[in-house]
Structure 1
């Protein structure tokens, strides 16, 4: 009977400790850290492909002016922005104030050859 009371008391103390604000804050912080790690791991291939595309663009279109470099950084921030750029300026042939003529054609060709534009099998 004494064992029952001791075990019950331990369970009650454990529940009270786990419900304390500090422990809740600690668990929340751990959960956020682990979630950030998983998000980082899941987006790693996309970030590597974007970095590869960015370096391909900068090497093939040398020399780029500072505003063009900023624009390349802006359009290679995500796969969606690359596809949006490609749809607007490569497929629809809209006028782009940052890249025109052969530079735009070369940029579109570089984007077409990137792994971001390949259809998944």
Structure 2
């Protein structure tokens, strides 16, 4: 009987402590940090592939104007922008005002080589 009472008292005390605002804030902060850390680890391989693609493309766009280089590097900065560019300008062959001709063909071939698993 005494043990049961002590266990119930300990559980009630634990519930009261865990429901306090300080503990809620601390656990929430820890969850946010852990979530950010896991997101960073998950996107590490993607960023590495994008950086490699940027390094391969950089010498081939050196003759372009600055605004064209900025446009291409912006495209190569994220997976969603890259997929958008590939869908509209490589697959559907829509007209791009910044990149065209041999440069567009080269970019499309390099983008096709990259695979995000």
Q: Does 1:36 align with 2:36?
A: yes
Q: Which runs of 4+ in 1 moved over 6 A?
A: none
Using structure 1 for the length normalisation, give the TM-score. Answer: 0.77
- Contact in 1 for aligned 2:54/2:76 (Cα 8 Å): yes
- Within-5 A mapping of 1:7-86: 8-86=8-86
CA RMSD of aligned residues (A): 2.3
Distance change in 2, residues 1:92/1:2 (3 Å): closer
> TM-score, length-normalised on structure 2?
0.79
Tell me, in whole angstroms, the C-alpha distance in 1 between the residues paired with 2:2 and 2:46: 60
CA distance in 1, matches of 2:5, 2:94: 78
Q: Residue 92 and residue 12 in structure 1: after superposition, are their counterparts in 2 closer, same or farther (change >3 A)?
A: closer
| Matched positions, count | 117
Provide the C-alpha distance between the structure 2 equivalents of 1:31 and 1:88, rounded to a whole number of angstroms: 38
8 Å contact kept, 2:18–2:24: yes
SS of equivalent to 1:95: coil
